[in-house]
Amino acid sequence: MKIMVSACLAGENCKYNGGNNRNEKVLQLMADHEVITVCPEQMGGLPTPRVPAEIVDGVVTAKDGRIVDGEFRAGAARCLEIARREKPDLIVLQSRSPSCGVKQRYDGTFTGTLVDGAGVTAQLLMQNGFRCLDVEELVGIHEGIVIEKLRLEEKELLKFFLYREAENPGWQVRWRET
Ligand code: SF4
């Protein structure tokens, strides 16, 4: 399986503050799979460290007011180019980033408020048909099958199924909360 990941998850110090988001699950993926690391913000020409940015009314803007939309979108385009060339089976991205966020991002007020929606790179990759997963949703990969965290309604459905099956003689099903 070929997997593309946010470089900061692999421990690269490419985060806005010069640090990383090293993630044990991603390191495990790197041991077992072919992994390509990308940092769209650096690839768009931004330095590290850099002023943090958020998407303000659709335009990526740094906290000091500088418009960095061009750099962010150039980085996103570069990631798409790499994804098209490498054809990863899965892309695992850092949560809540204005570039890499898959499900949520900050709302553009620099107050730590989250809104639903993706960062510019995740959005572009998903629009082009690539399977992107927020790293917080990843449980693991077992024999080529990607295991994601269950959503609440999926948990309820699974519980219902397990309880129903448990009523059948011969079945021994136990539900374990995670
Ligand atoms: S752009 Fe993505 S890979 Fe780069 S530091 Fe931010 S979250 Fe990590």
In a domain, 165, yes or no: no
Q: Which domain holds residue 28?
A: 2-149
CB-ligand 1 contact for 6 (6 Å cutoff): yes
Task: Specify whether the backbone of 56 is left (phi greater than 0), alpha (psi in -120 to 50) or beta.
Answer: beta
In a domain, 66, yes or no: yes
The two three-digit tokens of residue 134, written as one number: 């927020």
In a domain, 92, yes or no: yes
In a domain, 73, yes or no: yes
Q: What angle do CA 49, 88, 148 make, to 5 degrees?
A: 85
In a domain, 161, yes or no: no
Q: How many CB atoms lie within 10 A of CB 2?
A: 13
Mutate to test the pocket of ligand 1, among 17, 78, 99 (most ligand atoms within 8 A of CB): 99
Q: At a CB cut-off of 8 Å and minimum separation 6, what does 112 contact?
A: 106
In a domain, 61, yes or no: yes
In a domain, 175, yes or no: no
Cα 60 to ligand 1 centre (Å): 14
Per-residue pLDDT 10s for the chain (178 aa) are 999 999 999 999 999 999 999 999 999 999 989 999 999 999 999 999 999 999 999 999 999 999 999 999 999 999 999 999 999 999 999 999 999 999 999 999 999 999 999 999 999 999 999 999 999 999 888 888 888 888 778 888 888 777 776 676 666 656 565 5
Number of domains in the chain: 1
Q: Are 29 and 146 in contact (CB under 8 A)?
A: no
In a domain, 177, yes or no: no
CB-ligand 1 contact for 95 (6 Å cutoff): no
